[in-house]
A and B are shown apart, each in its own frame.
Chain A
Amino acid sequence: MESLKFHFTPVDAARPNAVNPHAQPTTDRPEAVAMLRDAFGDGVTGDETYAGETTVFVAKGRIAEALQRLHADGYSYLADLGGLDRFTEDDRYEVFYNVCDLHRGRRLRVKTRVDESDLHLPSATGVYRSANWFEREVFDMFGLVFDGHEDLRRMFMPEDFQYYPLRKEFPLLGIPGSLPLPGHLPGEDLSYDPFPAASSPTPKSFQEPEVSGE
C-alpha cells in the first residue's frame, strides 16, 4: 500500500534567486567564480547561489591548486572545512572549504566531490595551515583520506574505533562492541558495548522500579 506522505510545509526546491532576509553582502562572490573559471577552465565543475551565498565546485584533483589561487587573491583565512555525505550513487562525499578575505570582507565556499570508489583527495594543509585539524576531523567522521597531510589521525574518536560515524549508514545509537569501556561496577571486566541498555535484546524488567524506603 502506498504510504501517505504528508508535509506540513510543501517541500519545494531551493530557488537560487529567492530573497533572503538574512543574506550578507560578503558572501555573494560572482567575481571569484569568474576568476576560478578563467584560471582552471574545466577544473571548475559548477557554481550555485542560495541565500546570496556563492558556492564553487572544483574538481577533486585541482582543489589544492584552486585554494592556492584563492589564497593568493586574498582569501587567506580558512574559516571552516568539513565533509558531507550526500548518500548518492556517484560522488557520494563532499568536502567544503569556507575561505575568508578578512581585509576586503569577502567569504566564499568552495566544494569538491569525492566518489566512494576513491576516497583520496589532496590536502589543503600546504595552503592553509589551519586545515590540519579540520581535515583530521573529516577523516575521523567520513573516512576521507587527505593525501599530503602529515598527521592524519582521528580527531575525536580513539584510533581503536574503526567506523566513520557521520556517514549516513552509521546508526545513531552506535555499533555495539566498537569501543571498549569500563565496566559498570568497580572490578568488573571491560565492557565492549557502549550502549548496553539500548542494544540488549530483552530488558531486565518491564515493570517500573519499585520505590524503596517506604
Chain B
Amino acid sequence: MSEPHTLAAPADDLFTFWPRHQEALYARLESKHAWLEERHGLGDGRVHDALEHEMTLNIGPQHPATHGVLRAVVKLDGETIERCVIDIGYLHRGTEKLAEHKTYQEFMPYTDRMDYIAPYAYNVGWCLAVEKLAAIEVPERAQWIRMIGSELARLSSHMLWMGVGLMDAGAVSVFLWAFQAREDIYKIMDEIAGARFTVSHSRIGGVANDLTPEALRLIRDFVDRYPDIINGWRKLLTRNRIWMDRNVGIGVLTADEAIALGMRGPNLRGSGIAHDIRLFEPYLKYADVDFTIPTRTEGDSYARYLCRMEEMLESIAIIRQCLERIKPGPIRNDDGRKAVVSKDQAYYSMEGMIQDFMYTSEGVCPPRGAHTYAAIEAPKGELGFYLTSDGTGQPFRARINTPSFANLQGLEHLMEGAQMGDMVVLIGTVDPVLGDSDK
C-alpha cells in the first residue's frame, strides 16, 4: 500500500474537489466506446459532424431530478446523449464494513437506511439471510406478518416511483396523491412497528411485536380502499397522451440486453423476463399464496410503468390473502439463543434476563465456515445477502447485493442514444435509490 499522497495546493482561481477523481471520470467519458458514433459512421443517412454540436454536461449529484445523489456526466451531440458515465458513491457509508463490526441483530436497523423507501423489505431480507446462515426457524404467524410488511413496502416504493416519476414528467398532482397514499402506509407502519419511516420491525427468528387489532383494522381498510384508487390512477395515466408520449418507445431494453446488463425487478420484467425471486426461490409463504408476476414484452419505459402498476394490485391481493390466512400463534422463535426474548421474559424472569443479556452482547453465532446467500424480491428487484460466518456473533463478511446498483449500471446503457429531454424520465423508469446502490 502506498503512502497517502498530499494533495497539490488548489489553484487560486479554480478549486476542484478530488481532482484525480474528476480527471478519471472525464477521461473515461472521452475514451468510452460510443456505439452511437459507430452507427452514424456506418452511414444510415446521418452525417456525424462533431463541429459545434458537442457539449459535455454534468448532471447531479445535487440535481433534484436525479432522485438523490446520482451524478451523470454526459456528452451531447445536439440533443442526443452520445456517451454517458454515471458516477455514484456520494452516499457511500461503508455499510458492509460496519456489518463486520456489529452483531447480526445490531446490524438489522442499518438495513433500514439502505433503501429508505421500502425499509421493511430490507429488514426482512437481512433477517432471512441470518436465519438461513444459522438455520433458525421462524413461526408461521411471523412469516405472514413479514409478508404483509414487505408487500406494503413494495406498494410504498412503487407509489413513490409513480409520484416522483410523474412529477419529473410534469404532473405534480400525482405526486401529491402518491404521498397521500404513502401517508396511509406510514400510519400502518407506525401502528405495526412504532416507527413511520425506519421501521426495524423484523427480528432474527421472528418479528418484534404482534400486529395490534388497530393495525389489522388499518391494513384491512387500506386493502379495501386502494384497488379503486390505484385503478383510478391507471385510468388517468395509461391512455394519457402526454404520459404515453413521454414513455412509449423510450429506453427500450430487449430481453437479451436486460439479462446481459443484469437488470432486476420491474426493469427485467418489463423486457419480457418473468424473473421474480418470489417465484424463483419462494421465501416466507409466497409458495402458498396465489399471485401473478406482471410481465410485458415491449421493454420500454411504458412497459415498466404498466408492470409496476399491476404489481401494486398484485401486492394488495397478496396482503388480502395474508389477512385471510394469518392464524394466532407465536411471533418469534422461542429459543433464547436464536431470537431475542420478549420484554416480559427479560424483565420478570431470571433466565429471560440472562438470555437477553447474552443475546445483546454476543447474539446468534452461526457455525464456523458457514456461508449462505439469501435473496428476496425487494421492490426494486433481487436483494441478496451473502453472509460468511467465522463462528462468532459478528459476520466475517456481509456482502450486500443491492438492486439499485445493478439497475444503475443498465441506466448508463439506456441513456446512450436517448434524447436529453428523456434523461429525467429514464432515471425515473429505472427507479434507483442511491442509499441502496451506494451502500
Q: Which residues of A contact B368 (CB under 8 A)?
A: 11-14
Which residue of chain B has the shortest Cβ distance to A52 in the bound complex?
B372
Query: Contact at A177–B4, with CB atoms within 8 Å?
Result: yes
Query: Contact at B370–A51, with CB atoms within 8 Å?
Result: yes
Task: Give the docked Cα–Cα distance between A26 and B283 (Å).
Answer: 12
Given A7-B365, A175-B4: A159 and B21 within 8 A (CB)? yes
A157 on interface, CB distance cutoff 8 Å: yes
Given A8-B365, A22-B132: A180 and B370 within 8 A (CB)? no
Task: Give the docked Cα–Cα distance between A84 and B373 (Å).
Answer: 14
Q: Which residues of A contact B388 (CB under 8 A)?
A: 84
Given A130-B261, A159-B23: A105 and B399 within 8 A (CB)? no
Sort chain B's interface into a size bin.
35 or more
Sort chain A's interface into a size bin.
35 or more
B204 on interface, CB distance cutoff 8 Å: no
Q: Which residues of B contact A12 (CB under 8 A)?
A: 367-368, 391
Which residue of chain B has the shortest Cβ distance to A111 in the bound complex?
B371
Restricting to B23-81, which residues have a CB under 8 Å from any CB of A?
Answer: 23-25, 28, 32-33
Which residue of chain A has the shortest Cβ distance to B136 in the bound complex?
A21
Q: B residues engaging A (CB < 8 A)? A: 1-2, 4-5, 7, 17-21, 23-25, 28, 32-33, 88-89, 92, 94, 96-98, 100-101, 128, 131-133, 135-137, 259-262, 273, 275, 280-281, 283, 337, 358-359, 362-375, 382, 384, 386, 388-389, 391-393, 397, 399, 401, 405-406, 408-410, 438-439
Q: Which of A32-40, A75-83, A206-214 lies at the interface with chain B?
A: A75-83
Given A153-B28, A166-B96: A130 and B135 within 8 A (CB)? no
Query: Contact at A162–B5, with CB atoms within 8 Å?
Result: yes
Query: Contact at A82–B364, with CB atoms within 8 Å?
Result: no
Q: Which residues of A contact B4 (CB under 8 A)?
A: 162-163, 175, 177-178
Which residue of chain A has the shortest Cβ distance to B261 in the bound complex?
A130
Q: Which residues of A contact B372 (CB under 8 A)?
A: 20, 50-51, 53
Query: Contact at A166–B1, with CB atoms within 8 Å?
Result: no
Q: Which residues of A contact B92 (CB under 8 A)?
A: 156-157
Query: Contact at A82–B386, with CB atoms within 8 Å?
Result: yes
Instruction: Tally inter-chain residue pairs, CB-CB below 8 A.
Output: 180
Given A7-B362, A11-B392: A133 and B405 within 8 A (CB)? yes
Q: Which residues of A contact B408 (CB under 8 A)?
A: 133
Query: Contact at B132–A20, with CB atoms within 8 Å?
Result: yes
Question: Which of the residues A21, A79, A133, A155 comes within 8 Å of B137, measured between beta carbons?
Answer: A21
Query: Contact at A22–B374, with CB atoms within 8 Å?
Result: yes
Q: Which residues of B contact A100 (CB under 8 A)?
A: 280
Interface membership of chain A positions 5-46, coded 1 if the CB is closer than 8 angstroms to chain B and 0 otherwise: 001110111110011111110110000000000000000000
Task: Give the docked Cα–Cα distance between A151 and B33 (Å).
Answer: 11
Given A8-B358, A11-B367, A14-B369: A166 and B97 within 8 A (CB)? yes
